[in-house]
Structure 1
Amino acid sequence: MMYLSRLRLSRDPKVAALNALLDPTAESERLDAHHRLIWSAFAGDPQATRDFLWREEGQGVFLVQSVRPPESSPVFDPPDVREHLPDLRVGDRLSFLLRANATRDLRGEKRRRVDVVMHLLHDLPKDQRNGKRMDLATEAAAQWMAGQGSRAGFVPDRTDVQDYRTVTLPGYKGRRRGEPRFGILDLTGQITVTDPDAFLQKLAQGFGRAKGFGCGLMLIRRA
């Protein structure tokens, strides 16, 4: 069983007075703060590992997919919770919305993991990267989604890139030059289910990396 919840920051004036801490302007600080906020709704067991995925919707609203319903939290209004267990068949076509940190492993003398868009951009001269950024993001996203589908029981029919940006790793305080960053793709499109069990298992686990920072949750509806 899974649950899909909508959490909204409390509009109580005592909580609203903390907005600068709960919802910082700088994106890396905001992702870190939001991760801690979501944990407050699942903090009943201090030994529990993260068993939820989430994404920020803006204006203090978050969508959360979890294996247990969120608990009451003083920083959130009462949550809107519903059971989430899609009934899928082979051939079902779904529209999706996904915020993903898309990476791939490069094998060579030393195995390393790279962001799929940064990897393509790296091959271009620096003065051409801004102009080619979204074209290469679209190319990389399509290839990445095809790879995800081959392992997770679906075929991507269409993958559209709404946005691609890079974010400094939360907590980094060093020089700007050479700072550790990760990429975030905002994707929409359509997929066709080929293996419902494999797809539902992956849907629960999430897609890509950086799940603690609001990536990986795929929202679906019938096309």
Structure 2
Amino acid sequence: MYLTRFRINTARIGARRLLSTPQVLHAAVMSSFAEVPTQAGERARVLWRIDHNNKADVVLYIVSPDRPDLTHLVEQAGWPTTARWETFDYTRFLKRLTIGDTWAFRLTANPVHSIRRKDGEPTKRTAHLTPHHQMRWLLDRQDASGFAILEKPAERRLLPEGDTYELVVRDQRSLSFAKAGQGSSRGSRVKLTTVTFDGRLRVTDPDAFRRVLAMGLGKAKAYGCGLMTLAPVR
């Protein structure tokens, strides 16, 4: 597995096109591989995420089973003569994870749930729209995903309730774009809501956690959701 980091030059026309829809960016990411990535004879999952740190600092992260070649992105949306991209051996890092490790994390996800408006109707996938329910969506998945989000000490909690965890929900985005090759008809559009989670966690099941880091968490992975990255706790 490989983790790749590429900073996008937002001043370039190619960058604006690249960031126009997740559909365009997904195609650009998949073009980074000469062959379709596979694992055990089947098509492998490639995860990616865009971090909008500020207007001039936009970073693309990719987790993939094969090493990508981002030459086309450098030429279209980078700094061809002064900056390229960084790729790291992710497998070695994943193997070192152990129970009790604590990390700061970032995750962009598509928090959804299935509801039935009337008896007898099929369920419909619907986005969570409030920070409370979006946070609950992630908390409900932590046990099966091999991690536990850290709780704040009582003296650091600003509210009597609802401020329990080392977790922030931010940057909610409502996206709507046409599916590839289907024009712009209303019926062929993809609509999804994404949010970014920043927080701190403790590893409880290294094997399950490795699967999440390699395979993603939640829906809409092809559209930039599900990739969790880690950083040392400061």
TM score, norm. by length of structure 2 = 0.70
Q: Which residue of 2 aligns with 1:22?
A: 18
RMSD in angstroms over aligned alpha carbons? 2.8
Q: Which residue of 2 aligns with 1:214?
A: 224
The answer as to 2:174 corresponding to 1:166 is yes
Question: Cα distance 1:18–1:196, how it changes in 2: closer, same or farther (>3 A)?
Answer: closer
Moved more, 164-173 or 140-149: 164-173
Letter in 2 for 1:69: R
Q: Which residue of 1 aligns with 2:71?
A: 73
Match of 1:111 among 123, 145, 148: 123
Match of 1:96 among 89, 105, 114: 105
Moved more, 59-68 or 46-55: 46-55
8 A contact 2:44–2:65 mirrored in 1: no
Q: Which residue of 1 aligns with 2:162?
A: none
The answer as to 2:191 corresponding to 1:198 is no
8 A contact 1:70–1:79 mirrored in 2: no
* Gapped regions of structure 1 (runs ≥ 5): 118-135
**1:150-189 alignment runs, 5 A limit:** 150-157=143-150, 158-171=166-179, 173-174=184-185, 181-189=191-199
Q: Which residue of 2 aligns with 1:132?
A: none
Please give the alpha-carbon distance, in whole angstroms, between the structure 1 residues aligned to 2:167 and 2:178: 28
* Gapped regions of structure 2 (runs ≥ 5): 75-79, 151-165
The total of aligned residue pairs comes to: 191
How far residue 3 of structure 1 moved from its aligned partner, in angstroms, is 1.0
Please give the alpha-carbon distance, in whole angstroms, between the structure 2 residues aligned to 1:47 and 1:99: 23
Q: Which residue of 1 aligns with 2:156?
A: none
8 A contact 1:169–1:182 mirrored in 2: no
Judging by fraction of residues, say which structure has more helix. 1
What secondary structure sits across from 1:208 in the alignment? coil
Please give the alpha-carbon distance, in whole angstroms, between the structure 2 residues aligned to 1:200 and 1:46: 22
Match of 1:83 among 47, 71, 89: 89
Deviations 1:91-134 (A, max 9, x none): 222111111111223466423322122xxxxxxxxxxxxxxxxx
Q: Identity percentage over the alignment?
A: 26
Deviations 1:119-178 (A, max 9, x none): xxxxxxxxxxxxxxxxx32x11221111211211111222211221211143473469xx
8 A contact 2:37–2:66 mirrored in 1: no
Question: Cα distance 1:175–1:111, how it changes in 2: closer, same or farther (>3 A)?
Answer: closer
Question: Cα distance 1:201–1:112, how it changes in 2: closer, same or farther (>3 A)?
Answer: same
What secondary structure sits across from 1:74 in the alignment? helix
What secondary structure sits across from 2:210 in the alignment? helix
Please give the alpha-carbon distance, in whole angstroms, between the structure 2 residues aligned to 1:211 and 1:181: 14
8 A contact 1:141–1:159 mirrored in 2: no
Letter in 2 for 1:97: R
Q: Which residue of 2 aligns with 1:41?
A: 32
8 A contact 1:145–1:156 mirrored in 2: no
Moved more, 199-208 or 68-77: 68-77
How far residue 222 of structure 1 moved from its aligned partner, in angstroms, is 2.9
Please give the alpha-carbon distance, in whole angstroms, between the structure 1 residues aligned to 2:67 and 2:219: 23
Letter in 2 for 1:82: F
What secondary structure sits across from 1:75 in the alignment? helix
Q: Which residue of 1 aligns with 2:4?
A: 5
Question: Cα distance 1:160–1:39, how it changes in 2: closer, same or farther (>3 A)?
Answer: same
